[in-house]
Structure 1
Amino acid sequence: MRIAGKIVVSALALVVFAGTAYGYSALSSLDDVKRSSVIDAGDEASPGEQPADGSLDILLVGRDSRADNDGNPLPADVLRELRAGPNGDDLTDTLIVLRIPNGTQTVKAFSIPRDSYVTLPDGDKGKINAAYGHGKALEASKLRAAGETDKKKIEQESLTAARRATRQAVENLTGVKIDHFAEVNLLSFYDISNAVGGVEVCLNNATSDRNSGANFPAGPQKISGADALAFVRQRDGVKGTDFGRMRRQQVFLASLAHQVLSAGTLANPGKLGALIDAVKKSVVLDDSWNLLDFIGQLRGISGGGIQFTTIPVVNPDYRYSTTNPRATAVQVDPAQVKAFAAGLIGAPPAAAPKQTGVVVDVANAGGTSGLAQRVSDVVKDKGFTPGTTGNAAARRTSLVRYGAALATQGEAVAKLLGGLATAESADVPAGHIEVTLGQVYSGPGATSGSNSTGGNPIGGGAGAAGSGDTPITGAGNNCVD
């Protein structure tokens, strides 16, 4: 099973944050951390700069790698303790953006589901966690075609291209200009959670999962090492599966932030040294990041001042492939995600464009009470004119019909509602789009708590779809499933 819990990418940032109060001179040894040219030259934020987009933005990436920073395979005994198999891959299982708004000490962190279906930097459509592997493979092929034979050089330059591709995919989706980049693997997570002496978490119910190795009682408890990895890795048996796992990750990071920043972990020379050693083992930073200057900018941040949430999601069970109907991804609306990210630093979300003269009629053929009206409200929020709503003869699948003149708008409605089937028809009245919702419809408006336009979109709190979970902070109890 793929390791999904390398959320300790954020621990690097927490180390840096904590250094605003403690151990400034000791942190200078972090200059030895491995570097990579991830940020475009001339585009990076300089020390003390107030970024033009209103926020210093850090991309934190967790990579499923079974090697250390020098490319050496992790020892078999370490893999056994981590309950991890010998094979990794070039997917990024964790993507978190830290937004630090200009003039404030409040940090907003948001997760991007690893299966978010996007346009990748190479122009292909795919899941955002594949950007890393795509970028790496393309660069390796280009180097070999140019005659390069040095395997180590090909590997290192391909990894740099992979990191840049991941950064570009995140920027394209969110509209956020990434100023700094940090990447870790599972070994770093293991070492950092041990270095701080364990992290306090809380579960609503006892849980046991053979795949991840998670075996925890209900209630508050302190976890570290392999157990910490299992806590954030568990997917089976967790409410909301991948979204529930993201909430686990956020809760763990919030608790780690609170412990390190509020309890003075870095005031302890032993813990400080172990933490720095753990970071240096397997963390990769962009080569423009001056950590000591960054520390000076962030004086005063506390554990309770970091808030974690998740980008809005249109459809968590998006059937994106016509040739493989069982293939699923997470459908996201880039415009909606950009508005969400901008709103974290106070910028007003962009108004929905008006679809002048386009009326959307919605018929419920699935039998779910109130479905047609909820979906009509969804398309209204996107600028379409609501038309008639009502019931239709029962059918299993959904369909969007439109005349030739409204083909573009009809396709947009189908995409908005989760990638529904479409059909052009002369029977549809001029100026109208007809939506028929079938029994298996699961897009926006499918449940009474779901929507696709604002603060609590489907999966927005990283719990079950439409649950409306509140953001996670280091100051809360944060007991989870």
Structure 2
Amino acid sequence: MHKLGKVLVAALAAAVFGGTAYGYTTLESLDGVSREDVIDAPEPGEQPADGSLDILLVGRDSRTDQQGNPLPPEILRELRAGANGDDLTDTLIVMRIPNGQQAVKAFSIPRDSWVTAPGGNDKSKINEIFGRTKFAKAGELRKAGKTDKAEIEKQAITAARKATLKAVEELSGIKIDHFAEVNLLSFYEISKAVGGVEVCLNKATKDRDSGADFPAGRQTIQGADALAFVRQRKNLPRSDLDRVRRQQVFLAGLAKQTLSGGTLANPARVSELIAAVKRSVIIDSSWDLLDFVRQMRGVSGGGIAFETIPVVNPDYRYDPKHPTWTAVQVDPAQVRAFAASLIGTPPATPQAPAGPTVDVVNASGKDGLAARISDLLAEKGFKKGDTKAEAQRRTSVVRFSDASERAAEVAKLLGGLTVQQADSVPAGHIEVVLGQVYKGPGSSSGGGGAAGQGDQPITADTEGCID
């Protein structure tokens, strides 16, 4: 989950006190961190081609330890986690570190983001790719005659990690250079090792599933409470998007606590932190942590900024047969442009409008909706037509006279609207009529922007409370 903070903390902590003999002696023990061949090793001295060192931090909702053994019942009770956990990736964060710079930009990918699975056309929530790949790989190995359960598990998990990494690369358009994974227990241990993290809530909140039970205002949390804080999604205004915000706030506070909260001046705490990382973190085989520490020297807690990828529709109904099933709809083109902008790389030149012309009618009563939809479709290569408001109606429709295939494309882009042929629509035009219940892309003023719809980047210096 938020376990990614571990590697962040260990590496950044090292950067601060790495100039001392004690620092380097302690950090060399990081060589004991578990490794796995998830990423091909780069050539010696090779610089990332995209101008940024990109690190994928994965948090797994796993009820096992580093060796794959089930966690004891007493530990599960303290973690407030059930015994039957799915193999889901509850947290996906990419850290972008521009070559030769010390500004660290990190962005979250909501766990329910609706994406195309690597190597095919199947769509799923991005957090399900790990478990599906693991299950499929295990079945493939058993079918091939493999019987060693431990070896099957090991190979299946490796395949799942690679598939998750590939999904992130395909969505974001960036090449991941390093990988780190943590789970429930590891986050629990790390948060205790640093002595807790201060957070602030706008109001009291409680959630039975995660175990969250917090008063309003500032408070320091660690262990099981910290885990509950970053896992809660129920009883939050924006559900999973607010959980992402919680994770970012906690990680920023974790970095601040480690870098400026007395942790580094306390050898016992540093040793406990390093030990917790070694017990619970898995990284790729090619990652030279000491070299990374040197690269990160001078970064402060406030030097890490957390954002969230652009979201089209946080309440996307992806299966007409199951209208209550929801996902987070994202546009890969928007996500790639956003990821590139974090290191100043200009996005690809937009596709030139190639028709047909799309006229948009706002019958929803929401100010500015027609203009937002017109802009959104223009980004997809459609010509801008007229925008106007009409008397309110409940439902939405896409009308055409002679452009049925492109009308179906527009309908799909807008979340699966009904398509109708209408002689009243001019030749070469498509007409989009937006009703009161329209909840597709652009339905709010946040449009295709960040999930937080106006949320500012989170850093260790961010003030104020959150939900």
- What is the TM-score with the length of structure 1 in the denominator? 0.91
Q: Aligned partners of 1:377, 1:339: CA distance in 2, in Å?
A: 16
2:91 aligned with 1:94: yes
Of the three residues 17, 23, 26, the one matched with 2:12 is: 17
Q: Aligned partners of 1:424, 1:378: CA distance in 2, in Å?
A: 23
Q: Aligned partners of 2:286, 2:55: CA distance in 1, in Å?
A: 12
Q: Aligned partners of 2:353, 2:203: CA distance in 1, in Å?
A: 48
Letter in 1 for 2:221: I
Greater shift, 379-388 or 297-306, is seen at: 379-388
Of the three residues 444, 447, 455, the one matched with 1:451 is: 447
In structure 2, the CA distance between the partners of 1:276 and 1:458, relative to structure 1 (3 Å rule), is closer
Letter in 2 for 1:178: I
Q: Secondary structure at the match of 1:266?
A: coil
Give unmatched runs, 5+ long, in structure 1: 1-5
Q: Aligned partners of 1:211, 1:352: CA distance in 2, in Å?
A: 44
2:241 corresponds in structure 1 to 243
Of the three residues 298, 301, 308, the one matched with 1:300 is: 298
Letter in 2 for 1:16: A
Percent pairwise identity: 62
1:475 corresponds in structure 2 to 461
Q: Aligned partners of 2:59, 2:240: CA distance in 1, in Å?
A: 15
Question: Would you say the 8 A contact 1:204–1:218 is kept in 2?
Answer: yes
1:418 corresponds in structure 2 to 415
Q: Aligned partners of 1:111, 1:450: CA distance in 2, in Å?
A: 17
Q: Aligned partners of 2:365, 2:180: CA distance in 1, in Å?
A: 48
Greater shift, 423-432 or 156-165, is seen at: 423-432
Q: Aligned partners of 1:240, 1:160: CA distance in 2, in Å?
A: 33
Q: Secondary structure at the match of 1:194?
A: helix
Greater shift, 176-185 or 437-446, is seen at: 437-446
Q: Secondary structure at the match of 2:220?
A: strand
Q: Aligned partners of 2:401, 2:271: CA distance in 1, in Å?
A: 67
Matches within 5 A, 1:310-329: 310-329=308-327
In structure 2, the CA distance between the partners of 1:227 and 1:275, relative to structure 1 (3 Å rule), is same
Letter in 2 for 1:352: P
1:436 corresponds in structure 2 to 433
Question: Would you say the 8 A contact 1:366–1:395 is kept in 2?
Answer: yes
1:75 corresponds in structure 2 to 72
Figure out how many residues of one structure are paired with residues of the other and give that number: 461
Question: Would you say the 8 A contact 2:8–2:255 is kept in 1?
Answer: no
Query: 1:425: how far off?
Result: 5.7
In structure 2, the CA distance between the partners of 1:153 and 1:474, relative to structure 1 (3 Å rule), is same
Matches within 5 A, 1:72-221: 72-123=69-120, 124-221=122-219
Deviations 1:394-449 (A, max 9, x none): 54332223355462x434433433343334666642221111112211123323x3
Question: Would you say the 8 A contact 2:192–2:223 is kept in 1?
Answer: yes
Query: 1:95: how far off?
Result: 0.4
1:384 corresponds in structure 2 to 382
Question: Would you say the 8 A contact 1:444–1:458 is kept in 2?
Answer: no
Q: Aligned partners of 1:346, 1:439: CA distance in 2, in Å?
A: 39
Of the three residues 43, 47, 54, the one matched with 1:50 is: 47
Query: 1:470: how far off?
Result: 0.5
Of the three residues 360, 363, 368, the one matched with 1:362 is: 360
Question: Would you say the 8 A contact 1:314–1:418 is kept in 2?
Answer: no
- What is the TM-score with the length of structure 2 in the denominator? 0.94
Deviations 1:206-262 (A, max 9, x none): 222222222222221111001111111111221211101110110000011111123
Greater shift, 277-286 or 165-174, is seen at: 277-286
1:3 corresponds in structure 2 to none
Give unmatched runs, 5+ long, in structure 2: 18-22
Question: Would you say the 8 A contact 2:356–2:382 is kept in 1?
Answer: yes
Question: Would you say the 8 A contact 1:404–1:425 is kept in 2?
Answer: no
Aligned CA RMSD, in angstroms, stands at 1.9
Query: 1:83: how far off?
Result: 1.1
Deviations 1:180-203 (A, max 9, x none): 111111000110000000001111
Greater shift, 286-295 or 245-254, is seen at: 286-295
